[in-house]
Amino acid sequence: MHADPGDPSAQPTGRAAGRPLAGLATVVTGASSGIGRAIALAFAGAGADVLVSYRANENGARDTAARAAALGVRALVARLDLADPADIERFAAEAWERLGRVDVWVNNAGADILTGSGAQLSDREKLDRVLAVDLRGTVLCSWAAVERMRAARGGVILNTSWDHAVLGMAGRNPEIYAAAKGGILSFSKSLARTVAPTVRVNVLAPGFIATAFEGVADEGWRRFVEEITPLGRWGTPEDVAQVAVFLASPAAGFLTGAVIPVNGGVV
């Protein structure tokens, strides 16, 4: 039996306030850039070993791993195609084999339909991609992880939704994202009940975060976001990452099925 990372009475020897995840083995999907990279680096800074996944941006993932390793932890890289159910099972088996165990699994990766080639897809193609990658990918990764975590008697799953999934936003792209991210939110709440008390499942719900989309938004839209945000700015990937560290740590040991909006108060 290995320790539940959310159980303060079972903390690995040497875990200190400044390294709340010391001794934990973690997986972060989609960690080649943006929020995933920030989470992987925050986990490494908190003392956790990390396995980062990528689909196409191998160089970005290796850069994330190199930065994490420089913080004094073990950092590994593996490819994962979330649209391929067989590859998800292969990746989960690889994660446990290479890390020895996984204490925290973060489902961060998602399909980009707002920038680059993704923005040129038809509405139907965008819907198919987001449902396959974001929703089905999260469900299958969660099932693969919790099956192994329950056998090992402990673990934490963090899934990524969207703050507007609970409020709504006009527009075709928001409709598509809401279909997937709302599903992730509801699925996670049910999964949390299924796997408690052995595994904790919580949800990150970022709002307007300064990632690739913010970089291509026009000046008027960027100002609009600042104006509607009570805290007066776009969020950063690091804002989300620090909440992820908290949810993975013993400090959140009595939280499961929770949805944490990281959005400056917009929703």
User: How do residues 59-83 score in pLDDT, each as one tens digit?
Assistant: 999 999 999 999 999 999 999 999 9
Confidence of residue 211 (pLDDT cuts 50, 70, 90): confident
**How far apart (Å, rounded) are the C-alpha atoms in residues 2 and 12?**
10
Q: What is the pLDDT of residue 213?
A: 67
Q: Is residue 1 in some structural domain?
A: no
How far is 103 from 118, CA to CA, in rounded Å?
33
**pLDDT at position 215, please?**
66
- Write out pLDDT tens, residues 246-258: 999 999 999 999 9
Alpha carbons 43 and 172: distance in angstroms, whole number: 35
| Within-domain flag for 170 | yes
Q: What is the CATH number of the domain that holds 28?
A: 3.40.50.720
Which range in 64-78, 115-129, 209-223 is most confidently predicted, on average pLDDT?
Answer: 64-78
Question: Considering the domain boundaries, does residue 9 fall inside one?
Answer: no
User: How much is the pLDDT for 94?
Assistant: 98
- Across the range 91-97, mean pLDDT stands at 98
Q: What span, in angstroms and rounded, lies between the C-alpha atoms of 96 and 103?
A: 10
Please state, in angstroms and rounded to a whole number, the distance separating the CA atoms of residues 203 and 256: 9
Determine, yes or no, domain membership for 165: yes
The length of the chain in residues reads 267
Q: Residue 261 — very low, low, confident or very high, per pLDDT cuts 50/70/90?
A: very high
- The reported pLDDT for the residue numbered 195 is 98
Residue 129: both structure tokens together: 């991609």
Query: Between 214 and 235, whose confidence is greater?
Result: 235
Residue 207: C-alpha distances to residues 45, 121, 127, 245 (Å): 24, 23, 20, 18
Q: If pLDDT is split at 50, 70 and 90, which confidence band does 98 have?
A: very high
Query: Average pLDDT, stretch 155-164?
Result: 97
Please state the domain count of the chain: 1
Q: How far apart are CA 256 and CA 227, in angstroms?
A: 33
Cβ–Cβ contacts within 10 Å for residue 206, how many? 22
User: Taking CA 187 as the corner, what is the angle to CA 180 and CA 60, rounded to the nearest 5 degrees?
Assistant: 55
Range of the domain at 77: 21-261
Q: In sequence order, what are the beta bridge partners of 259?
A: 203
Is position 267 within any domain?
no
Provide the token pair at 44. Answer: 């490494």
Whole-number pLDDT of residue 1: 32
Residue 101 has φ and ψ, to the nearest 5°, of -170, 165
State whether residue 145 is helix, strand or coil: helix
Q: Span 228-234, mean pLDDT?
A: 94
Q: What is the pLDDT of residue 222?
A: 86
Nearest to 31 by CA among 84, 68, 2, 5: 68
Q: Tens digits of per-residue pLDDT, 2-33?
A: 445 545 444 444 455 589 999 999 999 999 99
Question: Is residue 97 domain-resident?
Answer: yes
User: What percent of the chain shows pLDDT beyond 90?
Assistant: 85
Does residue 8 lie in a domain region? no
Q: Which of 26-40, 65-79, 155-169, 202-216 has the lowest mean pLDDT?
A: 202-216
pLDDT at 3: 45
**CA-to-CA distance for 82 and 204, rounded, in angstroms?**
19
What percentage of the chain has pLDDT greater than the value 70? Answer: 92
More confident residue, 82 or 166: 82
Residue 16 lies in a domain: no
Show which residues are catalytic: 177
pLDDT band at 135 (very low <50, low <70, confident <90, very high): very high
Question: What is the pTM (predicted TM-score) of this model?
Answer: 0.91
